[in-house]
């Protein structure tokens, strides 16, 4: 087991180096000069431009810039944003906000998705099943910004139940509405996955055996059916958690959440190399860790997939 984890971490190192290099290259190759854009519609003074370029190492060849940046990372220095703030401070500020939002969304979608999916699967073809399938179809086919705008208007402006945008510090109660919006699409997916999986498992021999042994459905449903139906759901949840953690640009923009997606989007628009690359680097790390955890978690759910040496 330890050997397996160790191997996975070793594998992560080239992935990490490769992705940062690629991202750095892409930001570098982005057309347009970010320093010129800082001056707006005015034509900048070339000497000031040269000065600023030197300050952000933009006057160096690409490969030199990359190694300056990489060297900085190992000293814990991720560079400065154009407003003079260390990128580490930006990371430390935005990731907790996005993490809170992601965990909240994950809780919503897991709870409601599995619950509704289980009931639907057990009552296949009944009214509840048909209507929840219809609702999930609607949620899947609606673009997220439509759901976000409608939710914001109905609950924020019209009914006044929630704040239209997230206030400073991103308190938990302000994050509920954006988290529900974020959870809506995944809820539909999880609900459908669970339903299909439950239907499949219910027809298997061991379930029949369990019932014929005289076990009550109160025992069979959670232990025999649900547990064995959860593998595809867990895979989905894990990937989804990764997606949620790296920020939901559209939803964060609509609700003005000061999180990763929103900040990254603005950094891309401004061509702030250090900010963009650092954010993406941390995202890559999160993906790697989440993936390792998922692989380990399978073993807990299904003893048939255990990692022996």
Q: How far is it, in rounded angstroms, from Cα 117 to Cα 139?
A: 15
Q: How far is it, in rounded angstroms, from Cα 106 to Cα 284?
A: 20
**Contact between 29 and another protein per CB under 8 A:** no
**Contact between 223 and another protein per CB under 8 A:** no
For residue 96, give Cα distances in angstroms to 66, 128, 175, 244: 27, 38, 12, 12
Q: Which of 6, 9, 39, 64 binds another protein (CB under 8 A)?
A: 39
**Contact between 153 and another protein per CB under 8 A:** yes
- Contact status, residue 241 vs residue 286, Cβ threshold 8 Å: no
Residue with Cβ nearer another protein (266 or 291): 266
Residue 70 CB, shortest distance to another protein, in Å, is 24
Q: Which of 47, 74, 303, 308 binds another protein (CB under 8 A)?
A: 47
Q: Which residues is 273 bridged to in the sheet? A: none
Q: Which of 10, 29, 42, 203 binds another protein (CB under 8 A)?
A: 42
**Contact between 28 and another protein per CB under 8 A:** no
- Contact status, residue 242 vs residue 290, Cβ threshold 8 Å: yes
Site residues for another protein, 250-279, by CB under 8 A, read: 252-256, 258, 262-263, 265-266, 269-271
Q: How far is it, in rounded angstroms, from Cα 307 to Cα 8?
A: 12
The site for another protein, by CB under 8 A, has a size of 54
Residue with Cβ nearer another protein (11 or 167): 167
Mutual orientation of helices 227-245 and 172-202 as an angle, nearest 10°?
150
Q: What angle do CA 294, 248, 83 make, to 5 degrees?
A: 115
Q: Which of 76, 169, 203, 214 binds another protein (CB under 8 A)?
A: 169
Q: Locate 165 and state its tokens.
A: 């945008």
* Residues engaged in binding another protein (CB under 8 A): 30-34, 36-48, 51-52, 55, 82-85, 89-90, 93-94, 149, 152-153, 156-157, 160, 163-165, 167-169, 252-256, 258, 262-263, 265-266, 269-271
């Amino acid at each position: 087991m330890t050997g397996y984890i160790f191997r996975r971490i070793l594998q992560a190192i080239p992935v990490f180096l490769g992705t940062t290099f690629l991202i750095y290259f892409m930001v570098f190759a982005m057309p347009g000069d970010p320093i010129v854009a800082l001056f707006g519609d005015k034509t900048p003074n070339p000497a000031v431009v040269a000065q600023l370029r030197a300050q952000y190492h933009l006057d160096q060849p690409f490969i030199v810039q990359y190694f300056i940046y990489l060297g900085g990372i190992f000293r814990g220095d991720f560079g400065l944003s154009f407003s003079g703030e260390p990128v580490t401070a930006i990371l430390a500020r935005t990731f907790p906000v996005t993490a809170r939002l992601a965990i909240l969304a994950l809780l919503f979608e897991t709870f409601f998705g599995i619950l509704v999916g289980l009931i639907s699967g057990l009552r296949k073809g009944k009214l509840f099943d048909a209507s929840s399938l219809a609702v999930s179809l609607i949620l899947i086919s609606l673009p997220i910004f439509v759901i976000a705008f409608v939710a914001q208007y109905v609950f924020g402006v019209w009914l006044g139940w929630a704040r239209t945008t997230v206030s400073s510090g991103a308190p938990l109660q302000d994050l509920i509405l954006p988290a529900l919006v974020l959870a809506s699409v995944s809820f539909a997916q999880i609900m459908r996955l669970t339903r299909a999986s439950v239907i499949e498992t219910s027809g298997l021999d061991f379930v029949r055996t369990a019932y014929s042994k005289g076990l009550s459905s109160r025992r069979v449903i959670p232990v025999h059916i649900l547990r064995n139906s959860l593998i595809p759901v867990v895979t989905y949840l894990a990937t989804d958690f990764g997606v949620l953690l790296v920020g939901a640009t559209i939803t964060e923009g609509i609700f003005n959440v000061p999180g990763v997606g929103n900040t990254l989007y603005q950094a891309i628009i401004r061509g702030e190399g250090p900010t963009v690359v650092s954010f993406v680097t941390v995202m890559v790390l999160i993906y790697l860790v989440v993936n390792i955890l998922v692989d380990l978690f399978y073993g807990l759910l299904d003893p048939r997939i255990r990692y022996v040496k």
